[in-house]
Chains A and B, each alone.
Chain A
């Protein structure tokens, strides 16, 4: 998928994460800050990168401000931000396809 414009998903509430995606400058640039950085930073990075790969996003600047979200929440927030960034979040989300 191609990031057309910047979009966000999520909140800064405890156990959630705020994900911002913006058009990239060639490749994935990921910035993570997290309240559980020392124990889960690597897993957050891996989850976000896996999700982007599943959505076939190759060129994006992604900012994660995590407040202790579980993996399932992170995935959902990344997916939502990506779909919003190419105006596909209102209809025709591929449930059961890349969104599982």
Chain B
């Protein structure tokens, strides 16, 4: 069945009430019956929940084959915990038929690819999938199609009971002996633990893995002891150098800066750019640099930003410290400046993934966003964005909060160079739709700006401000004139991944790629 972004969704996926994507806000007003976990009572006072090893913790919570393990990705590419826990479950306890439900997965999790190939891990639910895991899933080696969700779609699915977490594992930079966790104060600090919060509340069992045990009570706790079954102390939960980089630097690349300046110009041309406006930006070159130019316009107009959300990095903390933004609310931290600021700098708060972006609760932060600036691997003439699959059709990205912020914000700006190497970023059809075009408003490239025709109000803003813009078709033709018109990818029939829209409908599927042979 074809969905609202023109993608053919195979019928076998449309069971148990699953529907195809129908357009923005389709689920508005519907009711949701929340799932509830089955948790163990610890009535008898416990002096400590510390157990000797991960294997002991898994045994204590009754880990068995067929279960779903959840993880969060605040340790980013420095994470050791996913691999440690899966190794213990599979190699020490001898479990198989396991599903990993992670907020995101990256290159750090390459060893999991072996467990997929051995058939021990049979299901993957995640936002991001990269590296070897992306390759083996793309090659059709995972028993069931991977399910890809946005950061807001995941807590929605957990609350709706579409994902039932048997065991949630919290990688905690600090914990006390009963499992009050924080993202700071240890040796592998990551700042916010926002993505772990929903998991800990909805999982049957919660295991905390930490490398820094602190005195009870570890306050204010991001994950609370009332939800935790066991605490394991290991030598190291991750490589600090890969968890939080040194301060994210603003790009010096003149092309990035030119695009960033145009992003700021577009923002400044709209009616929402006024005292107290709200803003989120990615950490990519031109997106991050937009901060710099935006500050200039804020100074010129004598206005301040009310609040900012997101994955947070240094330049936003800098604005907070200068008093140019009122509050920063944070689900994840990308660099040491942000890690060291959360819950320390007045006005810098932590939030859960659900509070950030869940479309099924009663109003997430993204719904109050004025502007979001995002990147894209590809954007097509229908303004559909792909941030998941490479141009070769292989899984190597993450929707993250992209679809959530695009849908929630009043003005979603995509900033990307027109071509990358030989790849046309602006194209006829994206490989995979991860953010539907009805949520994307403006495209800023190094060869020009295009506004979604669904937004005549924004076209008027740009015209009034004298900002030149062209159609997205013109940008696509310009791109193809440089790199040549690409051949369509050829696919096998089998579906290797299902891309869920944030509301739980099916936005797209990824099939197994058919390799091209030139000898035919």
Contact = CB atoms under 8 A, between A and B. Distances in A.
Given A38-B489, A39-B391, A42-B487, A15 B518 contact: no
A69 B423 CA distance: 10
Nearest to B482: A70
Contacts of A71: 484
A58 interface: no
A40 B486 contact: yes
Nearest to B514: A38
Nearest to A43: B484
A67 B189 CA distance: 38
A71 B515 CA distance: 22
Contacts of B484: 40, 43, 70-71
B518 A36 contact: no
B474 interface: no
Q: Which of B486, B487, B489 has the most CB of A within 10 A?
A: B487
B429 to A, nearest CB: 12
Contact of A68 (B423, B482, B489, B518): B423
Given A38-B393, A39-B391, A15 B487 contact: no
A45 B519 CA distance: 10
Nearest to A66: B422
> What does DSSP make chain B's interface, helix, strand, loop or mixed?
loop
A36 B423 contact: yes
Contacts of A12: none
B486 to A, nearest CB: 4
Interface string A27-43: 00010100111111111
A38 B513 contact: yes
Interface in A53-100: 67-71
A69 to B, nearest CB: 7
Interface string B492-520: 00000000000000000000010110100
B518 A43 contact: no
A30 to B, nearest CB: 8
B11 interface: no
Given A38-B392, A38-B513, A67 B487 contact: no
Contacts of B487: 38-43
A36 B487 CA distance: 10
Give the contact-size bracket for chain A.
Answer: 10 to 19
B465 interface: no
B341 to A, nearest CB: 35
Contacts of A41: 487, 516, 518
Contact of A38 (B421, B482, B483, B490): B490
Contacts of A68: 421-423
Nearest to A31: B518
A70 B518 contact: no
B489 A39 contact: yes
B489 A70 contact: no
Contact of A70 (B483, B486, B490, B513): B483
A32 B482 contact: no
Interface in B416-445: 421-423
Contacts of A30: 518
B422 A70 contact: yes
Contacts of B515: 37-38
A82 to B, nearest CB: 20
A37 B423 contact: no
A36 B516 contact: no
Contacts of A15: 421-422
A42 B518 contact: yes
Interface string B302-318: 00000000000000000
A39 B518 contact: no
Nearest to A67: B421
A15 B486 CA distance: 16
A16 to B, nearest CB: 9
B482 A39 contact: no
A71 B481 CA distance: 11
Contacts of A42: 487, 516, 518
A41 B393 CA distance: 14
Q: Which of A35, A39, A43 has the most CB of B within 10 A?
A: A39
A40 B223 CA distance: 49
Contacts of A38: 391-393, 487, 489-490, 513, 515-516
A68 B392 CA distance: 12
A95 to B, nearest CB: 24
A36 B482 contact: no
Interface string B466-496: 0000000000000000111011011000000
Nearest to A32: B518
A39 B423 CA distance: 9
A41 B486 CA distance: 9
A22 B487 CA distance: 29
Interface of B: 391-393, 421-423, 482-484, 486-487, 489-490, 513, 515-516, 518
15 contacts: A14-B421, A30-B518, A36-B391, A37-B516, A38-B392, A38-B515, A39-B423, A40-B483, A40-B484, A40-B486, A67-B421, A68-B421, A68-B423, A69-B422, A70-B483
